Amino acid sequence: MLEGSSFVPLFDASRQRIRRLWPYAAVSAAFLVAAAVLGWLPVSAAVIGCVGVLLVAVIPSGSDSDSSAPRSRARGEGASLPDAPALLAALPGPSILLDARGVVVLFNSAAAEAFPTLRQGDALSLILRIPELIEAVRTVRSGEASDLVVEYSDRVPVDRWTRASVSAVRSGGAGELEGILLALTDQTELRRAERMRVDFVANASHELRTPLAALLGFIETLQGPAREDTAARGRFLEIMRGQATRMARLVDDLLSLSRIEQKLHVRPVEAVDLVEITKGVLDGLTPLAAERAVVLEPAIPRGSVLVRGDRDELIRVVENLVENGIKYGQSGGRVRVGLQILRSGGRDEAVIAIRDFGPGIAAEHLPRLTERFYRVDAGESRDKGGTGLGLAIVKHILLRHRGRLVVESEPGAGATFSVILERLTGAAVETPAEQVSPERHADVVEPQSTERIAP
Amino acid sequence: MTEHTVKQFDEELNSLSESLAEMGGLAEKLVADAVQSLLDRDLQRAQGVISSDRTVDRLQQYIEERAVLLIAKRQPMAVDLREIVAALRVSNDLERIGDLAKNIAKRVLALEGQLRPPKLAGGVDHMGELVLSQLKEVLDSYARHDAVRAMEVWKRDGDIDAIYTSLFRELLTYMMEDPRNIGPCTHLLFCAKNIERIGDHATNIAETIHYLVTGEALMDERPKQDLTSSTPISFST
């Protein structure tokens, strides 16, 4: 590479010299030949003269190559300037180059990832229906401004804030408008941090007030009327401990919800094994199940089922759902946990279905289960130590994984919570499944469900 | 000569879809802002929604004029004609969506300073999120003429109806608990109804896409889960 680039200017220089000197050389040579023919010079002297003249024309001399050096250097730089696609690819954020009419000419891979519908030759307004951006492009096109910075936010599929800089590309820096460059930077983390504080204070103050009021009431009673009542003191302290534990759990849940929200817009990339995760969670929850006289029935295939995900978060999802099944479906006496692969629309999906046989959930509650602090029966939930955030956490984790939660229930016949994640293709799963439950195929989740999260 | 005419016609059709995409983007923003202003009680944002609705109305008018002109000038047939008819229909739906968003924003102004049961916010938020993703999906499928994706939107409208039904019950209980809640709860009920109606317009657009791509009108009954019109209200409690 280095050899080539140093050779090119040299070669160039000698060619230029030949071009510049050859008329003189030719005239001199012709004169010598004519002199020899006319007999003014001996033929041998004429031949030597010709060769000499031509040599002077061809062999580069120091001063000559110096004079041609600046030109050749400029040329060399021109050849090594990267082209537009390479420049766009090097920009860190999604970047799109439009022509003067607002039609997409070029974009980098970050832009293709952010806007899967992006296509060369389409008008930008067709692909990005962002009013702020369209307005800015229009302003720059009309020449009212040469560059603009706008901020906009998307709400679906996940909250996202973006800052876009829209600048005119002009020939020679000030000539005719040749194109418009859009460079986007993600502001989500910054904005989310601001919002998180507000949300946390709003949620925490409201939800912590109830247990706090109860605690204060008991403390006052213990200080006053029940000061000497040993039997009441024991009972009260037990209730107070329960309330305080609930508060601690609430704070923990709010914090983990905030943490998940903080990175909601970043889809996890590592491959994790759902078989291992599910088995691990079931092992961990066996004592709780035994305590409540619930039998766990796993129907998990051998081998591995890989998805892209965050291990800890997916553990949390399965844990929350199985724990709910044990707590709220206690009367059914068993909780079935199945893991399956379903083919849907040419893609493999991994489905973890958690089925309990308890009282079930009434239809009007199904679509709202994942809202923060939504409780089907507030009293029952509190008695069982629920914070009202368990399913909200599940929803947020799945949202981050671009997965879905499907809840199906018939009052009196229990409920099925299915977690659906896109399976990582290329990873083979050993087919012989461990047939623990004879009704394993009943775990198949039909998409005409009652509740669906994320498109 | 003919080729030139066709090319220009193509350009005219393209510019029509561009205006529609712009209008769709505005409608999406209006809905998002209206719901957000309701949740945050952000009066300034609500004002913004009310004033931007005019742009949506103007765009609708513009699209209608262009479409009528195109039909008169080019006398299009088959898919070209459907393209223009679809543009007319979609722009009508988007204009209505803008109006509904504006109505929510007006109610935010009316609700100012009044008590709001904090638990309800979750339901409205959830509904807003669903309806926005429906709107986004349906506008994406319109831009790409994707009837299959449009049908998915069409089928999913039941989810929004189900939440609306649940919110309706919840609001009723609040109103029965304390008559002072009736004022704000009625406003909230209308806001929820407006969001639900926006969802209905999204399914209308899905039907239009189906017509645009296949040339056939959709005859099936849409899955309905809005049961509020048949929910009995009992005052015995």
CATH at residue A108: 3.30.450.20
- The verdict on a CB contact (< 8 Å) between A374 and B24 is no
- Kindly report the backbone phi and psi dihedral angles of residue A356, in degrees, each rounded to the nearest multiple of 5, phi listed first: -115, 170
Between positions 66 and 125 of A, the ones with CB within 8 A of B are 117, 123, 125
Clarify whether residues A425 and A328 are in a common domain: yes
**Is A371 at the interface with chain B, CB within 8 A?**
yes
Clarify whether residues A127 and A158 are in a common domain: yes
Task: With cut-offs at 50, 70 and 90, classify the pLDDT of residue A442.
Answer: very low
pLDDT (tens digit per residue) in A226-273: 888 888 888 888 888 888 888 888 888 888 888 888 888 888 889 999
**Chain A residue whose CA is closest to B227:** A364
- The mean pLDDT value for A422-432 works out to 58
Q: Tell me the two tokens of residue A433.
A: 């499944």
Among A135, A132, A134, A136, which Cα is nearest to A147's?
Answer: A136
- Look at strands A334-344 and A104-107 and give their pairing: unpaired
**A205, A364, A450, A452: best to mutate for the B interface, most B CBs within 10 A:** A364
pLDDT on residue A386: 76
Sorted by sequence, the CB contacts under 8 Å of residue B41 that are 6+ apart come out as B108, B111, B112, B116
Query: In this structure, are residues A417 and A281 in contact, taking their beta carbons and an 8 Å threshold?
Result: no
- The verdict on a CB contact (< 8 Å) between B25 and A126 is no
What are the structural domains of chain B?
2-230 (1.20.58.220)
Q: Examine the fold and report which residue of A230, A265, A300 is the final residue of a domain before the chain moves on.
A: A265
* Identity of the residue in A127, A364, A372 whose CB atom sits nearest the CB atom of B122: A372
Asked if residue A176 has pLDDT above 70, the reply is yes
pLDDT on residue B237: 38
pLDDT on residue A441: 37
- The verdict on a CB contact (< 8 Å) between B14 and A123 is yes
Query: Considering only CB atoms, which chain B residues are within 8 Å of A127?
Result: 143
pLDDT on residue A335: 92
Count interface pairs A-B at CB distance under 8 A: 80
Clarify whether residues A100 and A49 are in a common domain: no
Asked if residue A92 has pLDDT above 50, the reply is yes
Question: Which ipTM did the prediction report?
Answer: 0.79
- CA–CA min distance A322, chain B (Å): 24
Cis peptide before A157 (omega within 30 of 0): yes
Residue-level pLDDT, tens digit, chain B, 237 residues: 334 466 777 778 888 888 898 899 999 999 999 998 888 888 889 999 999 999 999 999 999 999 998 888 878 778 788 888 999 999 999 999 999 999 999 998 888 766 565 666 778 888 998 999 999 989 988 888 888 888 888 888 888 888 898 888 888 888 888 888 888 888 889 999 999 999 999 999 999 999 988 888 876 666 555 656 555 555 443
Query: Considering only CB atoms, which chain B residues are within 8 Å of A452?
Result: 156, 159
**Is A402 at the interface with chain B, CB within 8 A?**
no
Sorted by sequence, the CB contacts under 8 Å of residue B132 that are 6+ apart come out as A155, A156, B28, B31, B32, B35
**Is A131 at the interface with chain B, CB within 8 A?**
yes
Query: In this structure, are residues A416 and A355 in contact, taking their beta carbons and an 8 Å threshold?
Result: yes
CATH number assigned to the domain comprising residue A232: 1.10.287.130
Clarify whether residues A38 and A132 are in a common domain: no
- The mean pLDDT value for A309-320 works out to 93
pLDDT on residue A29: 62
Q: Decide: helix, strand or coil at residue A403.
A: coil
**A366, A371, A396: best to mutate for the B interface, most B CBs within 10 A:** A371
Number of domains in chain A: 4
**B37, B54, B126: best to mutate for the A interface, most A CBs within 10 A:** B126
Task: With cut-offs at 50, 70 and 90, classify the pLDDT of residue A174.
Answer: confident
pLDDT on residue A413: 87
Asked if residue A448 has pLDDT above 50, the reply is no
pLDDT on residue A67: 42
Q: Examine the fold and report which residue of A80, A102, A128 is the final residue of a domain before the chain moves on.
A: A80
Clarify whether residues A304 and A444 are in a common domain: yes
Alpha helix segments (H runs only) across B111-179: 118-144, 147-177
- The verdict on a CB contact (< 8 Å) between B162 and A363 is yes
- Look at strands A334-344 and A295-299 and give their pairing: parallel
Asked if residue A362 has pLDDT above 60, the reply is yes
Q: Tell me the two tokens of residue A297.
A: 């029935």
Task: With cut-offs at 50, 70 and 90, classify the pLDDT of residue A5.
Answer: very low
Query: In this structure, are residues A307 and A271 in contact, taking their beta carbons and an 8 Å threshold?
Result: yes
Clarify whether residues A295 and A261 are in a common domain: no
Q: Tell me the two tokens of residue B72.
A: 């008169």
pLDDT on residue B76: 79
**Is A365 at the interface with chain B, CB within 8 A?**
yes
Clarify whether residues A355 and A450 are in a common domain: yes
* Identity of the residue in B29, B122, B137 whose CB atom sits nearest the CB atom of A131: B29
pLDDT on residue B146: 87
The model's pTM is 0.71
Q: Domain of A231?
A: 190-265
Task: With cut-offs at 50, 70 and 90, classify the pLDDT of residue A417.
Answer: very high
Clarify whether residues A201 and A250 are in a common domain: yes
Beta partners for residue A168, in sequence order: A180
Beta partners for residue A152, in sequence order: A162
Using CA atoms, how far apart are residues A129 and B83, in angstroms rounded to an integer? 19
Query: Considering only CB atoms, which chain B residues are within 8 Å of A454?
Result: 133
- The verdict on a CB contact (< 8 Å) between A371 and B144 is no
- The verdict on a CB contact (< 8 Å) between B122 and A368 is yes
Clarify whether residues A153 and A220 are in a common domain: no
Clarify whether residues A89 and A123 are in a common domain: yes
pLDDT on residue B71: 87
Clarify whether residues A223 and A276 are in a common domain: no
pLDDT (tens digit per residue) in A23-48: 665 666 666 666 666 666 566 665 66
Clarify whether residues A212 and A296 are in a common domain: no
Q: Examine the fold and report which residue of A165, A186, A207 is the final residue of a domain before the chain moves on.
A: A186
